[in-house]
Amino acid sequence: MENKANDVTKMTALLAATLAAFLVPFMGSSLNVALPTIGNEFAADAILLSWISASFLLASAIFTLPFGRIADIYGLKRIFTCGIITYTVFSFLSGTAPSAMSLIIFRAFQGIGASMMFGTGVAILTSVFPLAERGKALGINLAGVYFGLSIGPFLGGIMTQYLGWRSIFFLNVLLGVIVISFVILRLKGEWAECMGEKFDLKSAVVYSFTLLLLMYGFSSLPGTLGIILTVMGIIGIIVFILVDTKVDNPLLDMDLFLKNKVFALSNLAALINYSTTTGAVFLLSLYLQYILGYTPQKAGLVLLPLPLIMVIVSPIAGELSDKIDPRILASVGMALTAVGLSFFSYVGFFTALPYVIAGQLVLGSGFALFSSPNTNAIMGSVKKRNYGVASATASTMRLSGQVLSFGIIILIFSLLIGKVQITPDTYFNLLGSIRVAFKVFAVACFMGILTTAYGKISSI
């Protein structure tokens, strides 16, 4: 009877976490296709358009780790539920935004809600699934992410073309209500391995402010303000480490990085991987609609192979990581990702469609082969009491990488295009910017192979 109850808990947790995992990438990938339409409605330049995505990622990155620690203390399910509610409310407000700036602000609050889910969903799965089944569960969870990425561009393109871009947010509201009802009514139990411990507010404030300075500063380079904020952010990291190591219940146990090589290197690999891949769909969406002249619907259809191959490969990669050292799989995935990114550094005004599709298949296969084994390696390297923080740390690396990715794009756009609205007169510079961005991402990803390989070699 107890085993049956455990099986129900596992399946319910998997469904709840996977449904929530679907929401955010579905929103993001749908919105990428809609950004040119939003830019036309609000007369927004390329940099402002980038911030519609970057504000969400920045807010998520800032709050994921603090909420991960809060979840370990007060309960994973409680914070998970609060996150879905917050995300749904600000999805509605984003759909009613009267300007690009208000949309950026609402997206930031939407990102705060998402940060509560990021720091808890994987932790709940890790808590209820035994080690032998964990990789498969994480693979299924990531398949939900990739399904959101898959259907997002296609459905988002259709909705943008026929119902307007605001309909994307309202659909997210409906999906959010479904997930809220599912979690509240069906997911039983609570997980709080650090109940009774104190939350270190001082470290949380220093951490959040530091990340804000660092991420916003980097996105403002090469200007003077960007340099100042980036330097202040680096100083803030040092201050955070000094503060966090002197408290009894730290926000982030630094021993996880200093004494756990697998945890440290796997997180660094995640940071590199996501910083090189996140901006790919955004860049391809601009390329297909501005350079090749595709409609939002057609662009969404062309972008379908990338996340679709992720849906197929991710569960397989997750299950393999239960049998093969996940760091080996992650290294192979990182290599394929680098090759896939290299494809798009050579696109032009007359690039054939099969070339674009082939590049997506290679990139998607590599990304899926990296992600679930990398997550399995991170979660399998820590004790149960650190699941919330470990999950949140992995999510923070992912989100920081995503923000960094858009920071690199914003920097390249600032240097090569400038703060002007995208018109046919700027298409040549836009194409050049897209090529440069993919070259930078490919080089960084090739360097990231050394990180995952070293993590394996150093443990032998």
Residue 195 lies in a domain: no
More confident residue, 169 or 205: 169
pLDDT value for 8 = 59
Same domain for 180 and 120 = yes
Does residue 261 lie in a domain region? yes
**What is the structure's pLDDT at 434?**
92
Question: For position 4, what pLDDT does the model report?
Answer: 45
Q: Is residue 121 part of a domain?
A: yes
- pLDDT tens digits, one per residue of 178-224: 877 766 666 666 666 666 677 777 777 887 888 788 777 776 766 78
pLDDT of 156 strictly over 70: yes
- The residues, ordered by sequence, that sit 6+ positions from 317 with a Cβ below 8 Å of its Cβ are 139, 329, 333, 368, 369, 370, 371, 372, 373
Mean of the pLDDT values across residues 239-260? 73
Q: What is the pLDDT of residues 431-459, one digit of tens each?
A: 999 999 999 999 988 887 877 655 443 44
- Report yes or no on 191 lying in a domain: no
- Residues 309 and 246 reside in one and the same domain: no
More confident residue, 457 or 117: 117
Split at pLDDT 50, 70, 90, the class of 364 is: confident
**Interval 286-296: pLDDT, tens:** 899 889 888 87
Q: What is the mean pLDDT of residues 399-423?
A: 77
Q: Do 73 and 221 belong to one domain?
A: no
How many CA atoms, within 13 angstroms, populate the side-chain half-sphere of residue 288?
27
Q: Give yes or no: residues 272 and 243 share one domain.
A: no
The whole-number pLDDT of residue 5 equals 45
Pick the last residue of a domain from 250, 268, 291.
250
Is 449 part of a structural domain of the chain?
yes
Same-domain status, 149 and 71: yes
Domain check: are 275 and 327 in the same one?
Answer: yes
Instruction: Please tell me whether the peptide bond between 326 and the residue prior to it is cis, using omega within 30 degrees of 0.
Output: no
Query: At 349, which CATH number?
Result: 1.20.1250.20
Higher pLDDT, 391 or 413: 413
Q: In this structure, are 313 and 225 located in the same domain? A: no
pLDDT at 189: 66
pLDDT surpasses 60 at 381: yes
Residue 347 structure tokens: 């696109």
| pLDDT for the residue 457 | 38
**Which pLDDT belongs to residue 92?**
94
Domain count, the chain: 2
Between these two residues, 142 and 21, which has the higher pLDDT value?
21
Max avg pLDDT among 124-128, 335-339, 394-398, 411-415? 335-339
> With the CA atoms of 208, 212, 218 and 223 taken in that order, what torsion angle do they form, in degrees rounded to the nearest 10?
-140
Do 243 and 364 lie in one domain? The reply is no
Q: Could you report the per-residue pLDDT of 306-350, keeping only the tens digit for each? A: 877 877 887 787 777 777 777 778 888 888 999 999 989 999 898
Provide, rounded to the nearest whole percent, the portion of the chain with pLDDT above 90. Answer: 12
Give a yes or no: residue 193 inside a domain: no
Please check whether residues 6 and 76 belong to one and the same domain.
yes
Q: How confident is the model at residue 104 (pLDDT cuts 50, 70, 90)?
A: very high
Residue 34's φ and ψ, nearest 5 degrees, are -85, -15
Is 243 in the same domain as 391? no
For residue 138, pLDDT over 60 is answered with yes
Calpha distance 281→32 (Å, rounded): 7
Amino acid at 183: V
Going by pLDDT thresholds of 50, 70 and 90, the confidence category of residue 390 is confident
pLDDT classification of 387: cutoffs 50, 70, 90: low
Write out pLDDT tens, residues 8-44: 567 777 777 788 888 887 887 788 788 888 888 888 7
Which amino acid is residue 217, in one-letter code?
Answer: G
Mean pLDDT, the chain, integer: 80
For residues 24 and 19, give the distance between their C-alpha atoms in angstroms, rounded to a whole number. Answer: 10
Question: Which comes out higher in pLDDT, residue 59 or 147?
Answer: 59
203 token code pair = 């470290």
Residue 138 lies in a domain: yes
Instruction: Report if residue 228 sits inside a domain.
Output: yes
Q: Which domain holds residue 331?
A: 2-186+251-457
Task: Decide if pLDDT at 90 tops 90.
Answer: yes
Same domain, 371 and 453: yes
C-beta separation of 281 from 146 below 8 A? no
**In this structure, are 230 and 351 located in the same domain?**
no
Out of 213, 233, 250, pick the residue that ends a domain: 250
Q: In this predicted structure, what is the pLDDT of residue 73?
A: 80
Q: Is the pLDDT of residue 89 over 90?
A: yes
Q: What is the pLDDT of residue 1?
A: 43
Confidence of residue 460 (pLDDT cuts 50, 70, 90): very low
Provide the whole-model pTM.
0.70
Final residue in a domain of this structure, among 208, 233, 250: 250
